[in-house]
C-alpha cells in the first residue's frame, strides 16, 4: 500500500502547479463543495496526517525492535492511511529510502505499513507542521478490522450533519467544528440519496 501511495504522489508531483495532495478511496465522499474544500486545504498552515501513540497490540504491539536505533518505540506512531500532504513533505516521502526500506523489511503482518509508515515518518521529520488528524470521517464504533459501510437507507441528513460538524478541532490555531472534509465507507447504492441531499446540505451546484 505504501509503495502504491508513493507512486501516486510521484505522478501528482510531476505537475508543478500541485501544492497539496490528498489520498482518498473509491468509497469516500466529499462533505462540502469543491470551493470549500479547496479553500480549507490551501489556506491551512498544517498538513493532515493522523498520528498518535497507541499503547495496545495494534499500536506499539506491532513495533519491531530491529528498527532501533533508526525508529524507536517512543517514535512509533499509528494513524489513518487517508492523508493530506503539502509539496515539501510529498517530495520527501517519495525520495525517502531509509525509512521506507526499514518499514518494508521489518513492518510485516500483523504490522501494516500504511497505518504506521507515514504517521511515524511525518511525526519524526515534520511534527511542527502536522495537524495530527485526518480529514476523512470514519465510523469505527462497531469494532473489527474494518470501518462501518453505509448502505442507501442509512444515508440521512442527520448522519451527514454529524459527519460535517459533530466534533470540535483546531484549524489555524482556532477552534472549529469543520474538522472533516470527506467521509467513508459509502456503498455505490448510496449515490442517489447523496445526490438528493448534496445541493442544499453540501451546497453543491
Give the pLDDT confidence of 40-78 residue by residue, as tens digits.
Answer: 999 999 999 999 999 999 999 999 999 999 999 999 999
Helix pair 113-126, 98-106: axis angle to 10 deg: 150
Decide if 136 contacts 182 (C-beta within 8 A). Answer: yes
Helix (H), strand (E) at residue 124: helix 113-126
Question: Please, what is the average pLDDT of the chain?
Answer: 95
Using alpha carbons, select from 192, 202, 129, 195 the residue that is nearest to residue 165. 202
The predicted structure's pLDDT at residue 205: 60
Give the pLDDT confidence of 103-131 residue by residue, as tens digits.
Answer: 999 999 889 999 999 999 999 999 999 99
In this predicted structure, the answer to whether residue 203 has a pLDDT above a threshold of 80 is no
- DSSP letter for 22, please: E
Rounded to the nearest angstrom, the gap between the alpha carbon of residue 156 and the centroid of all alpha carbons in its chain is: 24
Q: What is the pTM for the complete model shown?
A: 0.93
Question: Any idea where the domains of the chain sit in the sequence?
Answer: 2-201
- Contacts by 144-152 with C-beta closer than 8 Å and gap 24+? 146/185, 147/184, 147/185, 148/185, 149/27, 149/185, 149/186, 149/187, 150/185, 150/186, 150/187, 150/190, 151/187, 151/189, 151/190, 152/187, 152/189, 152/190, 152/192, 152/193
In this predicted structure, the answer to whether residue 2 has a pLDDT above a threshold of 70 is yes
Q: Which three cell numbers stand for residue 147?
A: 470501518
The predicted structure's pLDDT at residue 145: 76
Decide if 190 contacts 152 (C-beta within 8 A). Answer: yes
Amino acid at each position: 500500500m505504501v509503495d502504491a501511495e508513493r507512486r501516486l504522489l510521484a505522478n501528482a508531483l510531476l505537475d508543478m502547479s500541485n501544492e497539496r495532495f490528498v489520498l482518498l478511496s473509491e468509497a469516500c465522499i466529499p462533505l462540502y463543495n469543491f470551493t470549500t474544500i479547496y479553500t480549507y486545504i490551501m489556506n491551512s498552515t498544517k498538513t493532515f496526517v493522523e498520528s498518535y501513540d497507541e499503547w495496545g497490540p495494534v499500536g506499539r504491539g506491532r513495533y519491531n525492535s530491529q528498527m532501533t536505533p533508526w525508529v524507536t518505540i517512543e517514535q512509533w506512531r499509528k494513524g489513518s492511511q487517508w492523508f493530506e500532504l503539502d509539496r515539501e513533505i510529498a517530495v520527501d516521502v517519495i525520495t525517502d529510502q531509509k525509512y521506507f526500506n526499514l518499514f518494508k523489511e521489518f513492518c510485516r503482518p500483523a504490522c501494516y505499513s500504511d497505518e504506521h509508515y507515514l504517521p511515524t515518518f511525518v511525526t519524526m521529520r515534520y511534527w511542527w507542521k502536522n495537524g495530527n488528524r485526518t480529514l476523512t470521517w470514519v465510523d469505527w464504533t462497531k469494532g473489527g478490522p474494518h470501518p462501518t459501510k453505509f448502505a442507501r437507507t442509512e444515508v440521512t441528513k442527520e448522519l451527514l450533519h454529524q459527519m460535517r460538524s459533530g466534533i470540535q478541532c483546531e484549524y489555524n490555531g482556532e477552534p472549529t467544528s469543520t474538522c472533516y472534509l470527506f467521509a467513508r465507507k459509502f456503498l455505490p447504492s448510496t449515490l442517489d440519496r447523496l445526490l438528493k441531499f448534496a445541493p442544499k446540505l453540501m451546497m453543491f451546484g
